[in-house]
Amino acid sequence: MTLDIRPFDEAEIDEYHELRLALYRHDFPELPTPTREATVSTLSRHGDRLLWTARRDQRVVGKVSVLLLDDNEHLAVVDVAVLPELRRQGIGTALLDFVLPHVRDRGCTVVEGGYVKLDGPGGSWTRNRGFREVQSTILQILELGEVDRARWAVDTPEGYELVRWRGHVPDELVASYAEARRAIADAPWGESAEHPPDWTVERVRRIEVERREQGIDLRTVAAVDTHGTVVGLTEAEARPKDPTRLMQGDTVVLKAHRGHGLGVAMKAELLRWFTAEHGALEQAWTRTAAANTYMADVNHRLGFATVGRYGAVAGPIGTIGSEFRPIVGSDGGNPDCYAG
């Protein structure tokens, strides 16, 4: 039966949302199912995102999306998904094969997938299509209606001041803020091919404009030392079409200032500030490398619970999809590939 793969059209938003609901219920039962607004919000998300849907007999049966990241021209972050009841019929592979020439034409050499349950169908499929695990991540969620907010009553460590802003970094801090953001390179990246972006003042200002144009409430809490230099920061965003969910962004503390409690103090202040002004918020979400135990512990202290563990997988273009040929008997071969 033929598969009709076309660019996503806004007229199919309801069917696309139904597909997402089916996927969440089947593959991610640990997560709340997305609202229609949240689905719309993911569609308008920042970055260069390309999305196609696949139809069979007029019905939306799968999707593939590609996210192209700043300063990562070699990399395509791809997400393939198929209706649970129509799996093992080659639809997932057809979607991946369809998208590979598109990303190759854009100069990408590596494909990565982010949220894969390695012990589920996503893990079996990605291994059988030439991907290997490059990073393990955890998702942590804070239930804002249930948390004991006394956890957020944290003193600011001596010798530092917490400075906060909405949307626009104050001019006198922007240079050291951009510099501090580079410290995200210290986070464990596993074997992911993704490079941390090149943080410059221009990049900071460009992102501020993008967020403002999208109506996103982006807030930052920074730790500033006695010289007036930003030595740590944390940020989160509330998106207009996803009003119940706060999305945590980067948190960093420069090496020389770690171990003083700045991470907890900054994040606690950010939570106090957002929740005071966004009454509709129900949850805060954050994702971090499983190896990043310091960050995970900070989040636990503030009331976050770890709800899921996911793998990031990657493969070079030319060796993935239906082109993948396992090398039977070599050390690199995956036992799953010999099955059947």
Q: How far is the CB of 130 from ligand COA (least distance, A)?
A: 11
User: Is position 80 an interface residue for ligand COA (rule: CB under 6 A)?
Assistant: yes
Residue placing its CB nearer to ligand COA in the complex, 136 or 200: 136
Residue placing its CB nearer to ligand COA in the complex, 79 or 242: 79
- Enumerate residues 6+ apart whose C-beta is below 8 A from 228: 172, 173, 176
**DSSP sequence for 189-244:** -TT--PPPP---HHHHHHHHHHHHHTT-EEEEEEEE-TTS-EEEEEEEEE-TT-TT
Q: How far is the CB of 114 from ligand COA (least distance, A)?
A: 7
DSSP 302: T
User: Is position 113 an interface residue for ligand COA (rule: CB under 6 A)?
Assistant: yes
User: Is position 93 an interface residue for ligand COA (rule: CB under 6 A)?
Assistant: yes
Q: What are phi and psi of 265, to 5 degrees?
A: -65, -45
Question: Is the alpha carbon torsion for 118, 123, 127, 130 positive or negative?
Answer: negative
The 24-63 contact track toward ligand COA, x by CB under 6 A, reads ---x------------------------------------
User: Is position 75 an interface residue for ligand COA (rule: CB under 6 A)?
Assistant: no
**Residue 42 structure tokens:** 């993911």
User: Is position 274 an interface residue for ligand COA (rule: CB under 6 A)?
Assistant: no
Residue placing its CB nearer to ligand COA in the complex, 28 or 189: 28
Among 125-133, 138-146, 229-237, 260-268, the segment contacting ligand COA (CB under 6 A): 125-133
Q: How far is CA 99 from the centre of its chain?
A: 20
- Enumerate residues 6+ apart whose C-beta is below 8 A from 80: 62, 63, 64, 92, 95, 96, 99, 113
Contact in structure between 122 and 96 (CB atoms under 8 Å):
no
Q: What are phi and psi of 51, to 5 degrees?
A: -140, 135
User: Is position 124 an interface residue for ligand COA (rule: CB under 6 A)?
Assistant: yes
From candidates 43, 102, 121, 157, binder to ligand COA by CB under 6 A = 121
Q: Which residues bind ligand COA (CB under 6 A)?
A: 23, 27, 78-82, 87-93, 113, 116, 121-122, 124-126, 128, 340
